Amino acid sequence: MIIIDGPAELSGELRVQGAKNSALPLLAAALLCKGQTVLHNCPDLSDVNTALAILEQLGCRCRREGHDLTVDSAMTSWEIPEELMRGMRSSIVFLGAMLARCGRARLCFPGGCELGPRPIDLHLSSLRRLGVNIDESGGWLDCSAPQGIQGAYVSLAFPSVGATENLILAAVCGTGTTIIANAAREPEICDLCEYLNRCGGRIYGAGESCVIVDGVKELFGCEHRVMPDRIAAVTYMAAAAVTGGNVTLRDVDNTHILPMLAPFEESGCEVRQLGGCLNIMAPRRLGAVRHIRTMPYPGFPTDAQPVVMSMAAVGRGASVFVENIFENRYRHADGLSRMGASVKVEGKVAVVEGVERLTGASVEAADLRGGAALVVAGLAAEGVTRVGAAEHIRRGYEGLCGCLADLGARIRETEL
């Protein structure tokens, strides 16, 4: 449980962690590379620990020293136990890498936050285009590529980040050329391709809607720095905003933040960007964030929607949210309402009428980003807020309580 005694005005400097959503596919990619891979700036998160456990189950040797992770990819198994697959939804990204490395993979359907139906059909149909045989039975996937991965043209029905990553990982050591149309364009895709190219891959067009992968015979491990976490950055920006704070974030890639700036500027915050730093100065009372519509990159990310809703909850006026990615992404709305927010949800639309103040309450984190939103709201609320199920938050934020405490929040985490 996370306990917050609010309100508090945040101020100071904070270093932004490495990106969870980049570290996980990078660890899967390390499976493909001979020798050692060293990932710098790798966050210490429960999801990262699950990925390391998967690598070790497959025969790799992993070692952490601070934020540096070393992986020796000596693969001896092609099966991932159910308890590890159920630990996080991103575990499915290991499928493409395993098929590329040894032509076999056996795993069950992934777990993770309950954000509504997130079928992996797109992953499976796309991999079948590359010559992969997939047998689905009893919740398990038995996959094989008897002729190896064969280059092909694959057009994705939706620019899925996970499906794009799986295709790249499968095709990078395949035969011939793979063309991925309507590919995801997220910065995490670019980070993955930069690493693979540094290891000897030949991938073109990362960050564009068409990615071309020319298969190579083998890859060799290298050193790579994980990109900054843009969702963690926007979370701390929201925390500063709801408290009328003045916070500087270091180790930020400002180009990644641009699609998320509009609600901060609309609500009256002054955001200044210089090099790898970002400073946000918030007014005493936020304005409305007006209209947020979540979309694939370079649109507004679904992962940032919950923390921005916490801003809207204390803003002056009405804000409208349209969630186009996950149907259960509004599960934090009940917790905000318990704290005194005015939130009305109808299908994929949520209307938030800002209130002058929130009141501390006991709430529950239903998922990673929703849990972070409740913590942000607790920073602005009068009295004590208790956020249960904090293990969800630890999946994506390294030392969240310590970072916020360094900025002046009265916050702590305790075991039940």
Rounded to an integer, what distance in angstroms lies between the CA atom of residue 194 and that of residue 253?
15
Task: Return the closest-CA partner of residue 30 out of 154, 146, 159, 172.
Answer: 172
The first and second tokens of residue 69, run together, are 């992770």
Name the residue with tokens 């398990």: 140
Rounded to an integer, what distance in angstroms lies between the CA atom of residue 232 and that of residue 235?
5
Name the residue with tokens 């990673």: 368
Question: Coil, strand, or helix at residue 278?
Answer: strand
Active-site position among 62, 108, 113, 403: 113
Q: Is 260 left (phi over 0), alpha (psi -120 to 50) or beta?
A: alpha
Annotated catalytic, 113?
Answer: yes
Cis peptide bond N-terminal to 298, omega within 30: yes
Query: Residue 189 is which amino acid?
Result: I
The sign of the torsion formed by the CA atoms of 156, 157, 162, 166 equals negative
Rounded to an integer, what distance in angstroms lies between the CA atom of residue 23 and that of residue 377?
28
Cβ burial of 9 (10 Å; 0-12, 13-18, 19+) is middle
Residues in CB range of 282: below 8 A, 6 or more apart: 240, 241, 242, 243, 244, 245, 246, 268, 269, 270
Measured from the Cβ of residue 79, the count of other Cβ atoms closer than 10 Å reads 15
The first and second tokens of residue 299, run together, are 């649109």
The first and second tokens of residue 346, run together, are 């109808």
Task: Return the closest-CA partner of residue 226 out of 69, 32, 47, 74.
Answer: 69
Beta strand residue intervals within 193-313, DSSP E: 202-204, 210-214, 219-220, 223-225, 246-250, 270-274, 277-281, 291-293
Q: Burial letters for 85-115: b for 16+ Cβ neighbours within 10 Å, e otherwise? A: bebbbbbbbbbbbbbbbbbebbbbbbbbbeb
Catalytic residues: 113
